[in-house]
Amino acid sequence: MISYDTFRKYVRLHIAEYLPRDKYRGWTLKETQVCSINRVIQSFHLQPPGSDVKALPSFHFQDAYSRVLLGEDIESAMRHIARLLQFYAPQDMTDMILDEGEEIPVREKDLQMALINRKRNKTLLKHTPHKDFLDLAAIAVSVRPGPNNDYGLCIISEDIAADMGLTAEELLQTACENTFRQFPAKFTRDGLSVYAACEKAFCGAACLLDKEMLRSLSEEWGSDLVILPDSLQGVIVRPRQDLDEPAMTEAFRQILAISVDFEDYLSDTPYLYERETETLRLCEDAPAAPSEDPAA
């Protein structure tokens, strides 16, 4: 099977052969690399001749290569890429691209809070306003609805926050208020366990920041809480009872390793909510686990 690096090189060298020459003469394939949550994205787009416009539809090499991994031959994969490029970047882009230097505005009402793993996202966090929380970081993202139940995601960097006229504190406060007003935490019960999430939010696990949710569950059960950070989408909460913290942590990591996609990873260390002090902490005696930043 063709390797990922060979696939990227093949697309770069041969994509012009799959596009109508009369319409795309002089267009070039441009590559960019950006840090996203839990991964580095290598993307590409078609650039019109004589233009430095940045606001062009782009596509991920990783997504295109997944078709090859699923058994599709290189010719079929290339034809698929060519169709996408022609559909989203047609030859006449007069009404689709922005003037050079103009950017799509980020609206305060679209801001949401997201929790991400600090170790996995060290490079991303260098230029992203955030607040440390346990082994996580709270950041702001902008989520805009798109076609076919899709959405556009923008991680709010220091530069974008400055353009919005917001300090880091104001940015995170706005994102937090929007999240809990528009997507309050909801429960799905299963015996003594509860799956909690800010339903329909980009990061359902932001419910971890909801102190009232944790307080109400601990009062209902009359117990401290153990919280398993299942994924970016949500967390599992259950009464503490007489759990062996190190053993539980090891079991959770084994389950997580085979059940959670890399992109949805939140943490592999359970948390403990102590009812008496109303505080949340990492479970004690949990050995450090490798959690590398893909961009490092």
Three-state secondary-structure class, residue 84: helix
Three-state secondary-structure class, residue 218: helix
Q: Is residue 170 part of a domain?
A: yes
Residues 79 and 138 in one domain: no
The last residue of a domain, from among 181, 206, 225? 181
* CA–CA distance, 185 with 23 (Å, rounded to integer): 50
* CA–CA distance, 43 with 60 (Å, rounded to integer): 4
Residues 223 and 256 in one domain: yes
Q: How many domains does the chain have?
A: 3
* CA–CA distance, 56 with 49 (Å, rounded to integer): 13
- What element of type H or E holds 69? helix 61-69
Whole domain around residue 141: which residue ranges?
108-181
Q: What is the Cα Rg of the chain in Å?
A: 22
Residues 132 and 63 in one domain: no
Q: Is residue 296 part of a domain?
A: no
**Which residue ranges in the chain fall short of pLDDT 70?**
51-57, 88-105, 145-152, 242, 257-260, 284-296
Q: Is residue 127 part of a domain?
A: yes
The last residue of a domain, from among 57, 88, 119? 88
pTM over 0.75: no
Residues 169 and 195 in one domain: no
> What's residue 210's pLDDT?
93
Q: Is residue 290 part of a domain?
A: no
Classify residue 89 as exposed, middle or buried by CB count within 10 Å of its CB (0-12, 13-18, 19+): buried
Spatial contact of 37 and 233, defined as CB atoms under 8 Å apart: no
Q: Is residue 158 part of a domain?
A: yes
- What element of type H or E holds 113? strand 111-117
* CA–CA distance, 215 with 195 (Å, rounded to integer): 15
Residues 125 and 72 in one domain: no
Residues 152 and 206 in one domain: no
* DSSP states along 176-214: HHHHHHHS-EEEEEETTEEEEEETTSS-GGGGGG-HHHH
Residues 171 and 191 in one domain: no
Q: Is residue 103 part of a domain?
A: no
Residues 189 and 276 in one domain: yes
> What's residue 245's pLDDT?
73
Classify residue 250 as exposed, middle or buried by CB count within 10 Å of its CB (0-12, 13-18, 19+): middle
> What's residue 104's pLDDT?
53
Instruction: Say what the alpha-carbon torsion angle 95, 98, 99, 100 is, to the nearest 10 degrees.
Output: -140
Residues 141 and 231 in one domain: no
- What element of type H or E holds 82? helix 74-88
